[in-house]
Structures are given as structure tokens and as C-alpha cells.
Amino acid sequence: MDVHIVSREPKNHNGAPPLLFIHGAFAGAWCWDEFFLPWFADAGFDASAIDLPGRRGRPDYEQLQDFTLGDYLDAVLAAVDAFDVPPVVVGHSMGGYLAWRVAEARDISALLLMAPVPPTGLAAPAMQLLLSNPSLAMDVAAVHAGNIASADTLHAALFSDAVPMSVAERYIGRFQSESRLAVAGLYAPYLPNVMAVWGTPVKVIGAGNDPLIPPAHVHWTGSICGQSAHIYQGMGHGMMLETGWKRVAEDIAAWLADEGLGSKS
């Protein structure tokens, strides 16, 4: 399996291990390269983002619907294995679910989960969305089934009101179809191996205005990790593209420094 990586190398390395960012469903490495990769490179990090199999513009795009969640995991594991030193693995949404699985299987320097699908799967957050916002839940289910959603629906699902529609539409136009097999895999019961990540520095963050992975489920993931999750109030699901993205990036860098995984300067 070919593994596609987008990388930004720092001009002045801060001594930290490399960062590997994993995007969520319907997205691609581009969502990290908009702000996070250049910011972290400027901060002295070797920053990379993986394009999961079947991304638009890649040779395997036509095979998108053949890929499973296991194929995605294999691609991330291959990316991790390619580093000379264990990377810090950062996963968003579905990418957070994959990042947890990677931490179970490989030695990594740290694990950061952003609005993650819980290690136990997507069923509980999906049920909460159905109960709290049935209309949006049906729209999201239609997207999972391969239907095209309106810009208003995607704005409501992914961003806070602080992100103007004109800006959101630019990002929304870059989202793509997703493998239905992979999405279905997120609903399959899975018992996380907590002991496998024991001793790995873990940080869990979420967004206060996130209907897809609401704060309660972010806190649940944090409790599995033995950590207190941090919730960014006023932000939506796509934190790396939100108006306040820089605050999130700065907090991540500060956490890594506190863990001895980067310069404090």
C-alpha cells in the first residue's frame, strides 16, 4: 500500500520528535496543511500529515469504496514505522480513533486526540446527536451513506458561528466522499486496550460547539486515558480550521514542552 505524506520541515529544529497528524473522515492531509503544519514547522517541529487511502487526487482514489478502517490503520502504521524515532501522533475525529489504535500497536512519543471518535466507537456520539438534533443527525447519516449535504448542514456540523460561511465554503469544497466500509467500521464494537498505552503521554481535547463528538464523549475518552479532557468553548468540530486554531496549536506546543518533547522557548 502506498502511503502519502505531506510534510513541513523546520528551519530551526527544537529537538522534539516528529509530529504525525491524522485527518478525520471526508477530509485529507490538506486540513492540517492550512494552518497547523506551517505553524508547527515555524515552531521548530518536523510536522507531517498523512493522506489516508482513497484521497482525492491520489492514484487510489478510484478504489476509495474498497478501503476498510483496517486499511486506514495499516497506512498509518506504515507511516509511523517510517520515522527514525517514535513520532507524536495527533488524530482528529476518525483520525483520533486510528491514533488510539496506533498507540496500542506501536511505541510512540505521545498521543494527542482532537475531538476523537471514542476508542469504543461512534455509536454513542451518533445516538446523542440523534436525540439532541434529529434533523442534523439525519443529514449526517445521509452524508455517511454517500449523499451530498448542503453547505449549511456541513457548516453546522463542522464549524462554529465564528467561522464565516464564505470561509467555511472554501473548506467544505475540499471535503470528499468517504469509504462507507470505513465509516461502518467506526460503529463496530471495540474494547480498547488501555494497558497498551500506559505510560504514553496523552492529551485529549474537544470543542464546546461540536455536535458530532460532543464534550461529554470527549470527557469519556479522557477518562479512559486517565486524563482530564480540555474543551475549547466556542469552537466547532474542525478545530484545526476554526477561527481560534492558533490557540489550540499553542496549547499543544506548550503541552509537548511540558512533557519534555520540545523546546520551551
Q: Which amino acid is at 233?
A: Q
What per-residue confidence (pLDDT) applies to 264? Answer: 54
Collapsed DSSP state (helix, strand, coil) of residue 258: helix
Instruction: Examine the pLDDT at 265 and tell me if it is beyond 60.
Output: no
Q: What's the whole-number mean pLDDT along residues 169-187?
A: 91
Residue ranges per domain, the chain?
4-258
Q: What's the whole-number mean pLDDT along residues 198-217?
A: 95
CA pair distance 191, 254, nearest whole angstrom:
31
90 φ, ψ to 5°?
-120, 120
CA pair distance 123, 143, nearest whole angstrom:
16
* List of E strands, 186-255: 202-207, 230-232
- Out of 129-133, 197-201, 223-227, the most confident range is 197-201
CA angle 146, 175, 246 (to 5 degrees): 140
Instruction: Examine the pLDDT at 144 and tell me if it is beyond 70.
Output: no
> Is 38 within 8 Å of 7 (Cβ atoms)?
no
CA pair distance 100, 91, nearest whole angstrom:
8
Give the lowest-confidence range in 43-57, 95-109, 116-130, 200-214: 116-130
Residues recorded for the chain: 265
CA pair distance 197, 206, nearest whole angstrom:
20
**pLDDT tens for each residue of 15-44:** 899 999 999 999 999 999 999 999 999 999
pLDDT band of 74, cuts 50, 70, 90:
very high
CA pair distance 232, 102, nearest whole angstrom:
25
CATH number of 4-258: 3.40.50.1820
CA pair distance 171, 167, nearest whole angstrom:
7
